[in-house]
C-alpha cells in the first residue's frame, strides 16, 4: 500500500462521518473508548503528543503518528488529531499503518516503507 491509499481512507472516513476532530472531542472519544484509533499529525507540539500518548496508553487505543501536514491534506480539516470511530474504515486504515511502538519492536523482519512515525505496509 502507499500513502495515497492512506489519504483515501482518511478522506472516506471524514465523508462517512467516521472521524472526530478537535482536541476535546478526540480526547473524550479516547477516554470513553469510543474510537478505534487516534491519528496524530507529526507536526504536533511535544506537549500535545504527550497529552494524546498518555490518554491513548491509559485507554488502550492505538496511536499512529503521521507525517507533518498529511492529516490536514487528506481530510481538508485543520487540526493535530483525528479519532477514528470503530468500523470497517478504521480497520482498513489500521491495516495500512503500524503503531510507532510496534514498528520499533518489529525490527528488520518485515519490509516497511517509513512515513513519518507510521509505517505503511506494502510491496516493494
pLDDT of residue 108: 42
Q: Which residue would you say has higher pLDDT here, 116 or 51? A: 51
To which H or E segment does residue 64 belong? strand 63-66
Give the span between the Cα atoms of 13 and 117, in whole angstroms.
21
Q: What pTM was computed for the model?
A: 0.77
Q: What is the CATH number of the domain that holds 23?
A: 3.30.1330.30
Query: pLDDT tens, 63-118?
Result: 999 999 999 999 998 889 999 999 999 999 998 886 544 444 444 444 444 444 55
Give the span between the Cα atoms of 56 and 60, in whole angstroms.
6
Query: Domain tally for the chain?
Result: 1
Give the span between the Cα atoms of 55 and 107, in whole angstroms.
26
Q: Kindly provide the b/e burial profile for residues 107-120, where b requires at least 16 CB atoms within 10 angstroms of the residue's own CB.
A: eeeeebeebbbbbb
How confident is the prediction for the chain on average, in pLDDT? Answer: 82
Decide if pLDDT at 124 tops 90: no
- How many C-beta atoms lie closer than 10 Å to residue 40's C-beta? 24
For the residues 113-124, what does the mean pLDDT come to? 44
What range does the domain containing 13 cover?
3-121
Q: Percent of the chain scored above 70 by pLDDT?
A: 77
Inter-CA distances, 40 with 2, 19, 21, 61, 108, Å: 18, 13, 11, 12, 25
Amino acid at each position: 500500500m502507499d500513502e495515497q491509499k492512506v489519504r483515501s481512507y482518511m478522506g472516506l472516513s471524514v465523508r462517512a462521518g467516521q472521524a472526530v476532530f478537535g482536541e476535546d472531542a478526540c480526547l473524550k472519544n479516547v477516554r470513553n473508548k469510543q474510537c478505534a484509533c487516534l491519528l496524530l499529525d507529526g507536526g504536533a507540539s511535544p506537549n500535545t503528543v504527550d497529552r494524546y500518548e498518555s490518554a491513548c496508553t491509559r485507554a488502550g487505543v492505538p496511536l499512529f503518528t503521521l507525517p507533518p501536514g498529511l492529516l490536514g491534506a487528506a481530510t481538508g480539516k485543520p487540526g493535530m488529531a483525528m479519532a477514528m470511530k470503530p468500523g470497517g474504515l478504521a480497520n482498513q486504515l489500521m491495516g495500512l499503518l503500524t503503531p510507532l511502538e510496534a514498528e520499533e519492536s518489529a525490527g528488520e523482519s518485515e519490509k516497511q516503507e517509513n512515513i513519518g512515525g507510521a509505517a505503511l505496509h506494502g510491496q516493494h
